[in-house]
């Protein structure tokens, strides 16, 4: 067991900086020897692009970063855009937007760049894919089924992002516990195979599972979907509330035609209320394609294995002097946002007011001090608050 467990970093090891890239350790050794470790710097997290040709992304991972800095007792100030904000990577002038800023002595926090970016890149990547699916599914039910594609240690991280993005349910028992919501799921093919068929499986489920859990039949194991749906209906009658189709690609043909046939048969029996859920390799594009005829989607790999948002961390000021490597923008920046024009504008950090270049009204300042000398300043928002914040931003959006 120990042999296997040693391939997971513990929280303590991460807080000690052991998951850093070795070049930061060597950098610190050099700076220490040259008495430069206490050089005061202002460093920005930015990104040059958004995966899957996106225009905007969901910013997540801030509180894991603050928790790490707090555990590591870093004497730093952190300024950040609010967790859960959906925004582009560049402002209206093509200047890279700083999402998170660390101010302090470089030698104190250099080794934490690696784990910090890990939290931000992964969570923002998953959150962005989940948000795009939320938009694609419109008002249809959306469930997170993707935790089996990733190590179990991060299952709650994946589901948290899906929940914040507005998914209607998640399948993981632990994630559901942490979020304070019921876990959602139907049955696997294994139950149908071992029980001896769909009739026996749905009857077993009905006998043994709490009556407040929806009776949703998986109808594609041995026979044609339409045949199995009718078998499930005969077995459960009024109790049957939904059907899940996980049809393998080798049998799929036209998924739309399969669903329409099933709906017709259900209609003939006066059961138009039965919901049709689809799962199995769904993507943003297939959800858009199927949403006109399906009632809900269980999505896995597209979210849990989504590309990361490739954030970078760069020094933009040293001892009060603006500086930047090639390709980056020097100096401390604040980010202004005009809600009316939906425009972002980077400005000098200490400028008292930022004027919208389009309507000339004062813009909202997006970056706030969130950690002062290692102390987290504000109450950490709940996942429900973050979910509401995302929902508010998505109101009416057709894409991000």
Give the residues lining the site for Zn ion (CB under 5 A). Answer: 338, 340-341, 356, 358-359
Measured between alpha carbons, how far is 334 from 345 in angstroms, rounded to an integer?
A: 8
**Please, what is the minimum distance in Å from the beta carbon of residue 337 to Zn ion?**
9
Closest CB to Zn ion among residues 107, 336:
336
**Please, what is the minimum distance in Å from the beta carbon of residue 91 to Zn ion?**
13
> What is the side-by-side order of every strand in the sheet holding 333-338?
343-348, 333-338, 364-365
Distance, C-alpha 124 to centroid of its chain: 6
First and final C-alpha spacing in the chain: 44
Q: What sign does the CA torsion over 346, 348, 349, 353 have? A: negative
**Please, what is the minimum distance in Å from the beta carbon of residue 355 to Zn ion?**
9
Task: Judge contact between 46 and 311, C-beta under 8 A.
Answer: yes
Distance, C-alpha 374 to centroid of its chain: 26
- What CA dihedral angle connects 252, 257, 259 and 261, to 10 degrees? -120
Closest CB to Zn ion among residues 29, 340:
340
Closest CB to Zn ion among residues 292, 358:
358
**Please, what is the minimum distance in Å from the beta carbon of residue 400 to Zn ion?**
20
**Please, what is the minimum distance in Å from the beta carbon of residue 360 to Zn ion?**
7
Closest CB to Zn ion among residues 214, 340:
340
Closest CB to Zn ion among residues 174, 343:
343
- Look-up of token digits 């030698």: 107
Task: Judge contact between 232 and 199, C-beta under 8 A.
Answer: yes
Closest CB to Zn ion among residues 91, 284:
91
Measured between alpha carbons, how far is 336 from 360 in angstroms, rounded to an integer?
A: 12
**Please, what is the minimum distance in Å from the beta carbon of residue 362 to Zn ion?**
9
């Amino acid at each position: 067991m120990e042999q296997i467990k040693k391939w997971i970093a513990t929280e303590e090891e991460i807080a000690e900086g052991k998951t850093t890239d070795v070049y930061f350790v060597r950098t610190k050794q050099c700076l220490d020897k040259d008495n430069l470790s206490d050089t005061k710097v202002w460093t920005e997290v930015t990104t040059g692009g958004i995966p899957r040709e996106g225009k905007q992304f969901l910013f997540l991972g801030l509180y894991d970063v603050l928790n790490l800095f707090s555990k590591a007792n870093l004497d730093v100030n952190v300024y950040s855009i609010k967790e859960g904000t959906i925004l582009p990577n560049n402002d209206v002038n093509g200047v890279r937007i700083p999402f998170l800023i660390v101010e302090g002595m470089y030698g104190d926090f250099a080794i934490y760049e690696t784990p910090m970016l890990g939290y931000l890149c992964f969570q923002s990547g998953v959150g962005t894919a989940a948000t795009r699916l939320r938009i694609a599914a419109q008002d249809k039910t959306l469930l997170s089924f993707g935790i089996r594609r990733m190590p179990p240690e991060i299952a709650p991280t994946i589901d948290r992002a899906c929940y914040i993005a507005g998914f209607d349910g998640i399948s993981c028992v632990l994630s559901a516990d942490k979020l304070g919501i019921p876990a959602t799921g139907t049955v696997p093919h294994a139950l149908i195979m071992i029980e001896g068929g769909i009739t026996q499986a749905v009857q077993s489920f009905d006998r043994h599972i709490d009556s407040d859990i929806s009776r949703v039949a998986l109808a594609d194991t041995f026979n044609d979907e339409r045949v199995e749906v009718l078998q499930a209906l005969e077995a459960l009658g009024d109790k049957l509330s939904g059907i899940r189709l996980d049809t393998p690609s080798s049998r799929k043909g036209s998924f739309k035609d399969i669903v329409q046939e099933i709906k017709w048969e259900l209609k003939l029996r006066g059961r138009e209320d039965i919901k049709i859920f689809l799962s199995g390799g769904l993507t943003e594009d297939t959800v858009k394609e199927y949403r006109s005829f399906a009632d809900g989607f269980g999505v896995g790999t597209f979210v849990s294995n989504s590309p990361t948002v490739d954030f970078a961390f760069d020094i933009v000021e040293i001892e009060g002097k603006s500086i930047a490597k090639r390709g980056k923008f020097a100096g401390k920046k604040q980010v202004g946002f005009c809600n009316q024009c939906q425009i972002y504008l980077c400005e000098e950090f200490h400028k008292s007011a930022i004027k919208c270049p389009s309507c000339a009204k004062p813009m909202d300042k997006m970056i706030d001090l969130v950690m002062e000398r290692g102390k987290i300043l504000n109450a950490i928002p709940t996942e429900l608050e973050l979910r509401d914040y995302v929902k508010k931003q998505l109101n009416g959006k057709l894409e991000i």
